């Protein structure tokens, strides 16, 4: 399968809340980019499933909350493509990424 990501992925370990059909589930973000995330969660979701994810990064006081679409789901986790981040979220994530080891 060809790599189609447009954004650099960063390995992370961030607690998050994944909401699917009104049900909120705790999960852990394993990698993160401006375009999406891989989360570790004890559930499998259908490709195309609409979700909402909420998480904190140290460069912003408020939680980042963004809608997304499940792009893949396996025993290793769920890949979520973000709908689009607000400008302040993009700024906070870029500042956070600068703090991560290369």
List pLDDT tens digits, range 5-52: 467 899 999 999 999 999 999 999 999 999 999 999 988 899 999 999
Calculate the CA dihedral of residues 90, 8, 13, 91 and round it to 10 degrees: -10
Tell me the backbone φ, ψ of residue 32, rounded to 5 degrees.
Answer: -150, 140
Q: How many CA atoms lie within 13 A of 93 on its CB side?
A: 26
List pLDDT tens digits, range 37-91: 999 998 889 999 999 999 999 999 999 999 999 999 998 899 999 999 999 999 9
What's the confidence (pLDDT) of residue 28?
Answer: 97
| Per-residue b or e along 85-96, where b marks 16 or more CB atoms closer than 10 Å to that residue's CB | beeebeebbeeb
| Separation of first and last alpha carbons in the chain | 26
What's the confidence (pLDDT) of residue 1?
Answer: 45
């Amino acid at each position: 399968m060809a790599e189609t990501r447009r954004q650099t992925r960063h390995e992370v370990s961030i607690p998050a809340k994944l909401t699917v059909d009104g049900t909120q589930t705790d999960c852990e973000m394993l990698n993160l980019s401006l375009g999406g995330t891989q989360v570790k969660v004890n559930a499998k979701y259908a490709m195309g499933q609409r979700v909402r994810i909420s998480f904190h990064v140290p460069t912003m006081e408020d939680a980042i909350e963004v809608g997304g679409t499940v792009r893949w789901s396996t025993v290793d986790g769920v890949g979520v493509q973000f709908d689009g981040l607000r400008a302040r979220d993009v700024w906070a994530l870029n500042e956070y990424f600068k703090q991560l080891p290369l």
